[in-house]
Chains A and B, each alone.
Chain A
Amino acid sequence: MSKAILYDATLCIGCKLCEQACATRNGLPYDDKIAAEEELSAHKLTAVLSRDGAFMRKLCMNCADPTCASVCPVGAFQKTAEGPVVYDSSRCIGCRYCMFACPFQVPTYQWDERFPIVRKCDMCSDRVAAGKVSACAEACPTGATKFGEYNDVVDEAGQRLRDNPGKYVDKIYGLSEVGGTSVLMISAVSFDRFGFHTPQEPLPLLTWRVLRHVPDVVILGSVLLGGVWWITHRREEVALAEAMRKESQP
C-alpha cells in the first residue's frame, strides 16, 4: 500500500532532529553550521525553516505524478508503489532538467564534484521497503512528523483540521498540489509565508499535451512534404516531356 508522511507544523519545536536523522541515514555530515542552513543542498536533503517563530519542513514531496520523473531524458527517477520517488544515479547524465522543472525546487546538485550526481530525499525508500518508517519520522520527538498509510494520513490531517477550528489554515498542503504528493502538511501559518507557491495541475501534462502529437507530426509531415515534393517535381517532368515531344514533331 502507498505510504505518506504527515507534517504538522503546529507540533514542531524546531529541534532539527529530523535533519540529523536524515543526514545519518544518507551518510552526510551534520554539524551546527549545516544545521543553521535553511535551504536544501546536496549535503542537506531536508531543512527546517523558521519564520516569526513558526516552523516548516522542506523535503521532497514525492509527488504522485513526479515532474522529475517525467522530464528526465534517461528515466533516472521513478515513482515506487509504496510512495517514494527514487533516483538512480547510474543513469544520470547531469542535464539538470529535473532541478529546473521541479515545482518545489527540491533536487540539488553536487556542483563542486568532478563526477556530480543529483541529491534529494527519497522518503527513505530502503527503510520503507523493509517495512520501517522514514528516518525523520522515527527521530521526531513531538510527533510533528508522522509516517503511515496514505489514506490514514489524509484522514488524520482532515480530522485535526476539523477538531481545531481556527488553529490551522484551511489547507492540507500536498493533497491537490501538482495532482497530489506523498508528503502532506498542515500549518497554522500560511504556506505562502514560506514561499510555497505550487500549481495545482500535474506539470507533466503540460509537456505531454504537446509531446503526444509527435507521431502525428511525423506521419502527417512525411505525407505532406512527400506530396509537395512529388507535385513540384512531377510538374518539371511534365514540362520536360512536353518540350521533348514538341521537338520531335516539328
Chain B
Amino acid sequence: MTAVRRLLNLTLWQWVFLLLTLGAMYATYLRVVYGLGGVTNLNDHFPWGIWIGFDILCGVGLAAGGFTLVALVHIFNIERYRPILRAAILTSFLGYLLVILALLFDLGRPFRIWHAMVMWNPRSVMFEVAWCVMLYTTVLALEFSPVLFERLGWQKPLRWIHFISVPLVIAGVLLSTLHQSSLGTLYLIVPHKLYPLWYTPMLPVFFFVSAVAAGLAMTIFESWHSSRAFHRQLELPLLASMGRVLAVLLTFYLTTRFLDLSRRGVLPLLRENRTETWLFGLEILLMLVPAVLLFRRRIRLNPTALYACAVMVVLGFVTHRLNVSVTGIEAASGTHYVPRWTEIVLTLWFISLGFAIFRLVAKYLPIFEAEPAPAMDSFAPPLPVHVK
C-alpha cells in the first residue's frame, strides 16, 4: 500500500524517468536478442546513427566542462572558479560513463571492448579515441574521488590523490584536448561523404573549440539547475564571467568557421535551397545569437538570459555534431536515416540517467564545497574544511 502511495507521489520528472527506464529495458532486451538490425534503422549504407552522432559525439563534447574548469582552477590558478569545479567534474565523469554505456549498445560485439587495449593500430583515429576515453575516464574518477573520500572520512587516499594531483590534472587536460579534437579527426577520412559545408581539414580544431564552448555552457546550465533543485544561491558573478569567456570563444569559433568556408570556396553553396543549407543556418544562428548577446553585461547578469544563452550554445553545438555525423552524410550515402524509437528512447534514457545520478550524488556527497552544505541529510556529519 505504501509502495503504491509512494508511486503516486512521484513528480513529473520522476514519472518521465520511470517510463524511460521501462522503455529502455525493453529496448535493451530487443538489442540483445535481435541485434543491431532489430533496434536501429542503420544499414550498410548508413552504419552510424544517433548513438554515435549524439550519444558519443555530443556526450563527450558536453562533458568538456570538467577539463576546462580543472585547467582554469588548478593550472591557471584562478581560484574564484573553485566553487563550481566539483559539479563540473561530476558532470564530465557522468558524461563519460554514459558515453561508455552508449558505446556498449552501439558496438556490434560489446564484450570485446577491451580489444583496443591489446590489439593496437596507432594509425587509427578510433584507436586514439578508445585510449583517450579509457584514460580520461580513469583520470576523472580520480579527480572526483576526493569528494567520496571526504564523505567517508578516509584521510590516507585523500593524501595520495593530493600527492599526484598536478600530473593528474595535466594528464586530464591533455587527454581531453586530444580526445575532443580526435572526434573531429574521425571524420577527416570521409571527404567523399561529408557535405562540404562541414568537411574541412580544420575539423579537429573546430571540434576542440566548440567543445570548450559547450563545456562552459553546460557548466552554466548545470549551475542554474542545481541552484533551483537544491535551493542554493546562483554564483552569478562567476557564471557571468564565464559568459564573457564564452562570448569571446564563440566569436573566435564563428570567425574561423567562416574564414575556412571562404578559403575553401564553398560559401556559394549557401545559396542552394537544400536541407543542409538550412541546418547549417540553424547551427550558426544558435551560436551567433548567444555570441552577440553575451557581450552585453546586462544579459550576462540576468540569470534567465544567461541560462537561455547557455542552452542555445548547447543546442548549436548538438546541431553541429549531428550535422557532421548524420545530416551531412545522408546525401552522399544515398539513404534517408530516421532513428527508430528504440534508438531515441535509449538516447533519452542515457540523458535522464545523467540527470538522475547527478541529483543523487549532489544530494549525498559534498559537491558544492564553497558554502557550508545545507542540512539535506540529518545523518550527515559536519563537513570538514576542504584542503584541496
A contacts, CB < 8 Å to B:
39-42, 67, 70-76, 91-97, 99-101, 103, 105, 108-117, 195, 197-199, 203-204, 206-211, 214, 217-218, 221-222, 225-226, 228-229, 232-233, 235-236
B276 within 8 A of A: no
Main secondary structure of the interface of B (DSSP, over half): helix
Q: List chain A residues, Cβ under 8 A from B32.
A: 114
Contact A100 B170 (CB under 8 A): no
Contact B119 A207 (CB under 8 A): no
Q: List chain B residues, Cβ under 8 A from A112.
A: 34-35, 37-38
B258 within 8 A of A: no
From B109, B170, B192, give the contact of A198 (CB < 8 A): B192
Given contacts A70-B124, A203-B189, 6 further A-B contacts (CB under 8 A): A74-B116, A101-B190, A111-B36, A112-B38, A203-B190, A217-B178
7 contacts between A and B (CB under 8 A): A40-B44, A73-B127, A75-B124, A109-B36, A114-B32, A206-B191, A210-B185
B126 within 8 A of A: yes
Contact A93 B174 (CB under 8 A): no
Give Cα A228 to B220, complex, Å: 26
Give Cα A96 to B40, complex, Å: 14
Q: List chain B residues, Cβ under 8 A from A217.
A: 174, 177-178
CB distance from A66 to the nearest CB of B (A): 11
CB distance from B350 to the nearest CB of A (A): 18
From A93, A105, A195, give the contact of B44 (CB < 8 A): A105
- Chain B residue with the shortest CB-CB distance to A117: B108
B128 within 8 A of A: yes
Contact A116 B75 (CB under 8 A): no
Give Cα A125 to B28, complex, Å: 38
Q: List chain A residues, Cβ under 8 A from B6.
A: none
B121 within 8 A of A: yes
Give Cα A60 to B128, complex, Å: 27
B388 within 8 A of A: no
Contact B109 A214 (CB under 8 A): no
CB distance from A11 to the nearest CB of B (A): 28
Q: Given contacts A99-B44, A217-B177, are A113 and B170 in contact (CB under 8 A)?
A: no
- Chain A residue with the shortest CB-CB distance to B166: A229
Give Cα A207 to B122, complex, Å: 11
Q: List chain B residues, Cβ under 8 A from A207.
A: 123, 125, 185-186, 188-189
Top 5 nearest A-B pairs by Cβ distance?
Answer: A94-B108, A111-B37, A232-B77, A73-B126, A75-B121
From B36, B174, B181, give the contact of A116 (CB < 8 A): B36
CB distance from B86 to the nearest CB of A (A): 20
Q: List chain A residues, Cβ under 8 A from B119.
A: 74-76, 91
CB distance from A114 to the nearest CB of B (A): 5
Give Cα A115 to B38, complex, Å: 13
Q: List chain A residues, Cβ under 8 A from B127.
A: 73-74
Contact B126 A72 (CB under 8 A): yes
- Chain B residue with the shortest CB-CB distance to A92: B109
- Chain B residue with the shortest CB-CB distance to A114: B35
From A42, A72, A221, give the contact of B124 (CB < 8 A): A72
Give Cα A100 to B188, complex, Å: 12
Give Cα A218 to B132, complex, Å: 12
Contact B75 A228 (CB under 8 A): yes
